[in-house]
Structure 1
Amino acid sequence: MSMILELHTVSDANLARVLANPPLVWKVVSPDDDSLYDAARAEAGAGEAGFFRRLFGRPARATAPAVDFPLAPGEVNTIDLDKAWHGIHFLLTGTAWEGEPPLNFLMQGGTVIGEVEVGYGPARGMTAAEVKTVAEALAGIDEAFMRARFDPAQMTQLDIYPGIWDRDPAEDDSFGYCMECFGALRTFVMGASERGAGLIISLT
């Protein structure tokens, strides 16, 4: 199964609501499927009920009530990095999963959104101020910077997903693939910053 990293723009106000009520993350990352939001509410409520049963010997309400979550027109724009996300992270940071902020934002940036699994773990939310910092850093990254970090042997050793780095570049240009996705990512993040938007990042 492929692992795809997605970024979704969202206002700071709605990001704050999602952080306070994590099941709402589904309203951003999968707005056309209410069943995912409903299932997350039920799961969160069941966990709360179990806690109160242990504490007081009686159940709490199993499912929290649904809440309205209005999104402004055009508030949520989405981009996916296909399977290039891990390679891009490596080229930006020189690490498999860590790195220094703000260039480690794909793997480490922002705040974890509760315990709601949206694929491979919970999503993370970044405020507009954090996005602005990332955009400013990405503005200074060019192809020469990325090519200097491109090391197929090390990327293979570190098991950088999707494991295509040792292929013949004449037949499969994995560096070009990363750069194409990085160009789209940089444009997306800079556009989000210009609009004063935050981000929700999910790996599905």
Structure 2
Amino acid sequence: MGMELIGRRLSVEELRAVLDDPATVSLLLFGDLDDEDAEMPDPELDLHKSWHALHYLLAGTAAEVDDPAAAAVLGGVDIGEEGGYGPPRLLDVETVRVVAAALDMLDVDTLRARFDPDALASADVYPGGWARGVNDFDKFLAPAFADLCRFYRSAAGENQAVLLAIV
């Protein structure tokens, strides 16, 4: 499976529950893991393995989050229990609005122009294979960018917060 980024939009009630009890984060993201018959809820955003490359194209770095668009993938504040690849992160309603506006200022052609397989390989951007052409921009990253923009646009339009987790 590898490392994948999932996201979930939070209603006002869910945000309140998360802030009151961070243990609620796991339930919202993963369902009731103690119930054998329970299914994991489908994430509202699943960037699969494209998350790190998208972050790199948005931020220009592999890990820094110093731009509102970069916060779309690696932003937010840690909340809840460690989930395998770090704790989930929460972006509040105002941050979601700022991120959505920053993403709306970009388009797929801008990201395509930033796509440099050698730079991604040099920066050790997950999942790798960039220099060998394993991961193609139009098939791998363009659809994920469109999903990311839709997700934040919807969350901002509904005045929702966002949970992100790398699983």
Who is 1:18 aligned against? Answer: 18
Correspondent of 2:54 among 82, 88, 105: 88
For the pair 1:195 / 2:161, whether they are aligned, the reply is: no
Q: Which secondary structure does the structure 1 equivalent of 2:67 belong to? A: coil
TM-score, scaled to structure 1: 0.72
Who is 1:156 aligned against? Answer: 121
> How far off its partner does 1:101 sit?
2.7
For the pair 1:142 / 2:90, whether they are aligned, the reply is: no
Q: Would the aligned equivalents of 2:51 and 2:73 in 1 still touch at CA under 8 Å?
A: no
Q: Would the aligned equivalents of 2:108 and 2:145 in 1 still touch at CA under 8 Å?
A: no
Q: Would the aligned equivalents of 1:9 and 1:77 in 2 still touch at CA under 8 Å?
A: no
Find the aligned partners of 1:187 and 1:108 in 2 and give their Cα distance.
Answer: 17
Find the aligned partners of 1:188 and 1:4 in 2 and give their Cα distance.
Answer: 16
Q: Which residues of 2 match residues 1-204 of structure 1 at below 5 A?
A: 1-34=1-34, 78-114=44-80, 116-168=81-133, 172=134, 174-176=136-138, 177-204=140-167
Q: Which secondary structure does the structure 1 equivalent of 2:8 belong to? A: strand
Distance 1:12 1:101, change over 3 A: farther
Q: Which runs of 5+ in 2 are unaligned?
A: 36-41
Find the aligned partners of 1:13 and 1:101 in 2 and give their Cα distance.
Answer: 29
Residue type at the aligned position of 1:105: A
Find the aligned partners of 1:124 and 1:91 in 2 and give their Cα distance.
Answer: 20
TM-score, scaled to structure 2: 0.87
Distance 1:118 1:32, change over 3 A: same
Q: Would the aligned equivalents of 2:29 and 2:43 in 1 still touch at CA under 8 Å?
A: no
Q: Which secondary structure does the structure 2 equivalent of 1:22 belong to? A: coil
Aligned residues: 161
* C-alpha distance after superposition, 1:104-146 (max 9, x if no partner): 21454221104x1122110011112111111111111112210
Residue type at the aligned position of 1:186: C
Distance 1:124 1:189, change over 3 A: same
Find the aligned partners of 1:21 and 1:184 in 2 and give their Cα distance.
Answer: 29
Residue type at the aligned position of 1:130: T
Residue type at the aligned position of 2:98: T
Q: Would the aligned equivalents of 1:150 and 1:175 in 2 still touch at CA under 8 Å?
A: yes
